[in-house]
């Protein structure tokens, strides 16, 4: 299966008053056409910065690319000019940002914001762009789209604003959609609707999807492949079946154990003690060692590397038996 995206040893750092923050530190993965990759992990693990790096939206300064390559259909995105990247961004590669209220401009109507992207990338008149925007709002399930197109973001609910963000992202039929926590702060009913919509649109358009989330339930619903990140690095990757049925890394196993179970009211929810280390002060050895029940002195001194333990199933841990 041909890969549409290949990320190789990506390193995205930030210069701060406290030192260099290694937000993404040697991340590699690939994604094929019409496939969905879920990137999971706690806040501060580097998931969103990985997405922003692919989009070339990391603010510079203080951010900078310290190494690595991002190949999009054979072209290294890190080697493109700003003009070349602008032609790709929003057209071939689109992103649903994490918080729709802060991502949408409050002084422009939702229709104007969708039309702006269409007019930028497509040779359409303003009238045709408006018709396209109305069709997109209808596609994402917004009722009365010809009226809602004149609404401002504050006039819409959180779920509707998220749908507007999806409409903007899909306005130019991208080959890759990056969805960064697309269901955050939405009630469970709207979450289910948004996830169903993304899955339906992928099925209809054949686009590839990168889904960034904390929620393994969302991963199980939409994804075929999973990347587990911790402290700026990939600690495990594999198919959804491999990750859920036989997790290799203690961090992945801990995340799965922390999922609430139906009918287990008397059982205490499992937690992973401690916090993700600061990207400015990453530990010398395994970055999960101070929270890991299996860690020993070797783990504290030596950083593990990703190894393949089954076909397509990789993990970075010293305590995995073959």
Contact (CB, 8 A) for 256 and 215? no
> pLDDT tens digits, residue range 286-321?
999 999 988 899 999 999 999 999 999 999 999 887
Higher-confidence residue of 197 and 292: namely 292
* Top mean-pLDDT range of 60-69, 101-110, 114-123, 210-219: 60-69
Instruction: Work out whether strand 307-310 and strand 63-72 pair parallel, antiparallel, or are unpaired.
Output: unpaired
* CA 17/CA 46 separation, integer angstroms: 19
Copy the structure tokens of residue 320.
């995995």
Contact (CB, 8 A) for 217 and 259? yes
Select 3-92+176-184+206-315's CATH number: 3.40.50.2300, 3.40.109.10, 3.30.930.10, 3.40.50.300.
3.40.50.300
Task: Calculate mean pLDDT across residues 65-73.
Answer: 94
The domain locations on the chain are 3-92+176-184+206-315, 100-173
The whole-number pLDDT of residue 65 equals 95
**How many residues does this entry show for the chain?**
322
Angle formed by the axes of helices 158-170 and 126-139, to 10°? 130
The whole-number pLDDT of residue 230 equals 94
CB-based burial label for 133 (10 Å; 0-12, 13-18, 19+): buried
> pLDDT tens digits, residue range 123-137?
889 999 999 999 889
What residues pair up with 13 in beta bridges, in sequence order? 22, 64
Residue 189's Cα: distance from chain center in Å? 21
Contact (CB, 8 A) for 160 and 140? no
Phi/psi for 12 (5° steps) reads -120, 115
Contact partners, residue 127, CB within 8 Å, separation at least 6? none
The whole-number pLDDT of residue 30 equals 94
Copy the structure tokens of residue 122.
């497509």
Establish whether the linkage from the previous residue to 126 is cis, with ω within 30° of 0: no
């Amino acid at each position: 299966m041909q890969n549409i995206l290949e990320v190789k040893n990506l390193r995205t750092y930030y210069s701060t008053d406290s030192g260099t923050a290694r937000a993404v530190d040697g991340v590699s993965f690939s994604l094929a056409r019409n496939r969905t990759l879920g990137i999971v992990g706690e806040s501060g693990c580097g998931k969103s910065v990985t997405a922003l790096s692919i989009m070339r939206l990391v603010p510079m300064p203080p951010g900078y690319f310290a190494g690595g390559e991002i190949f999009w259909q054979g072209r290294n995105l890190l080697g493109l000019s700003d003009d070349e990247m602008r032609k790709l961004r929003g057209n071939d590669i689109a992103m649903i940002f994490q918080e729709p209220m802060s991502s949408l401009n409050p002084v422009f109507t939702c229709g104007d914001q969708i039309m702006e992207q269409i007019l930028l990338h497509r040779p359409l008149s303003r009238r045709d762009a408006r018709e396209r925007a109305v069709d997109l709002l209808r596609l994402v399930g917004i009722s009365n789209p010809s009226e809602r197109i004149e609404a401002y973001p504050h006039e819409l609910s959180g779920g509707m604003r998220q749908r507007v963000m999806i409409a903007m992202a899909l306005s130019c039929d991208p080959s890759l959609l990056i969805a960064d926590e697309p269901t955050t702060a939405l009630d469970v009913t709207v979450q289910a609707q948004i996830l169903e919509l993304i899955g339906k649109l992928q099925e209809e358009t054949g686009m590839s999807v990168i889904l960034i989330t904390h929620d393994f339930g969302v991963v199980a619903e939409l994804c075929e492949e999973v990347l587990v990140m911790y402290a700026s690095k990939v600690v495990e990757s594999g198919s959804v079946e491999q990750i859920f049925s036989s997790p290799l890394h203690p961090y992945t196993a801990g995340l799965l154990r922390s999922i609430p179970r139906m009918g287990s009211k008397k059982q205490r929810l499992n937690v992973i003690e401690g916090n993700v280390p600061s990207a400015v002060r990453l530990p010398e050895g395994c970055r999960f060692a101070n929270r890991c029940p299996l860690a020993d002195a070797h783990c504290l001194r030596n950083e593990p590397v990703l190894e393949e333990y089954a076909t397509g199933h990789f993990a970075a841990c010293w305590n995995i038996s073959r």
